[in-house]
Amino acid sequence: MRNRSSVVIVENNMVALIRRERNGKVYYVFPGGGIKENEKPEDAARREALEELGVIVKVEECIAQVEFNGNQYFFLSEIVGGEFGTGQGEEFTDKYKDRGTYLPVWIGIEKMLSMDVKPQEVALKIQSLYM
């Protein structure tokens, strides 16, 4: 079990997600990853946004905490720098190609529930906040 931290970035009724393709299945996750030892969840969210999306974010409130193989924190965040889609995290290296593909994308809030977004309860929360 490992605690994880993710960013929830909403701009122009679009949500930043990572499109994953693994073992022949396509699904979407919120950008994020494991919290390192002695790292605050907010700091992990900032680090992961830079690694996975290539953006610097201002982390705001935690809108959801989900229990799944540890605690998962989801922070509303605002892009304040960087360029979306330029992440250089380890998941983009050949070393991790057996874990499937990672592609940063913008998805309309209204479309999220018709897609396989994990975790679904966070997608529902975003829809309740923005629609």
What's the chain's Rg over C-alpha atoms?
A: 14
CA neighbor of 46 nearest in space, from 71, 78, 17:
78
Query: Which residue segments constitute the domains of the chain, with CATH numbers given?
Result: 4-130 (3.90.79.10)
**11 contacts 110 by C-beta, under 8 angstroms:** no
**80 contacts 56 by C-beta, under 8 angstroms:** yes
Mean pLDDT throughout 9-21?
96
**Cα 17 from Cα 30, distance rounded (Å):** 5
The DSSP call for residue 104 is E
Q: Residues 99-125: pLDDT tens digits?
A: 778 899 999 999 998 999 999 999 999
Q: Residues 34-81: pLDDT tens digits?
A: 999 999 999 999 999 999 999 999 999 999 999 988 999 999 999 999
This prediction's pTM? 0.93
